[in-house]
Amino acid sequence: DLKASLTANLEKYKNLVYTEETIKEAKADRALLNKVSTAINDEKKRIKNKLLEPYMDFEEKCKELMAMVSEVSEGIDSQVKAFEQKTKNEKLQEIMAYWIENVGEFNDLIDFDLIFEERWLNSSYSMKKVQTDINHIFEKTKMDLATLDSTIKDENIKKQVKDFYFNNIKSPSILSLSIQESQRIEEANKKIE
């Protein structure tokens, strides 16, 4: 009924053209239409709130139950995280012990923090894999240094390149980067001469 009444009443405004003389009426019409729209919106909100009352009560009860579950879950979560951290700390100690036992000639050259990988601490990453990774680093370093020794003849340049190598050891292409560094140093030295 209201829609039919509104449709009929609004029809007269659709094609209405206001002039300078009728601008007062335009403002009054606009205010009237805005009041109608506000009244409809207010009624919509009133009915919505009335309809939502049972839901709001239900929602509050659900929130209360969820809070009870969350409180217990968070307590368990903190214990799980503490256990996981303890396990990671123990594994880190085991990794460092293996490192110290096997670092040998690279003791003061390879910085453990530079080569350390966070994934080593994951429970899914076995200690055997970690040991393989560490052994690979040592083997690769030996081969790379042998290559640098045979490639670079100048002892001063060799020292600078090895320093560069150990500072950037984490890079997968460290050997080629080190050779490029030696060439850069040689070119710089030639320019200086």
The pLDDT tens digits of the residues spanning 23-45 come to 898 899 889 889 999 999 999 99
Residue 131 has pLDDT above 90, yes or no: yes
pTM: 0.61
The mean pLDDT value for 139-157 works out to 92
Residue 61 has pLDDT above 90, yes or no: yes
Residue 63 has pLDDT above 90, yes or no: yes
The mean pLDDT value for 156-179 works out to 91
The mean pLDDT value for 153-179 works out to 91
**Average per-residue pLDDT for the chain:** 92
Angle at 190 between CA 187 and CA 162, to 5 degrees: 50
pLDDT-based confidence at 10, cuts 50/70/90?
confident
**Sequence-separated (6 or more) residues with CB below 8 Å from residue 175:** 144, 147, 148, 165
The mean pLDDT value for 63-80 works out to 94
| pLDDT of the residue at 135 | 95
| pLDDT of the residue at 14 | 84
Query: How many angstroms separate the CA atoms of 98 and 14, rounded?
Result: 86
CA 192, distance to chain mean position in Å, is 46
| pLDDT of the residue at 12 | 82
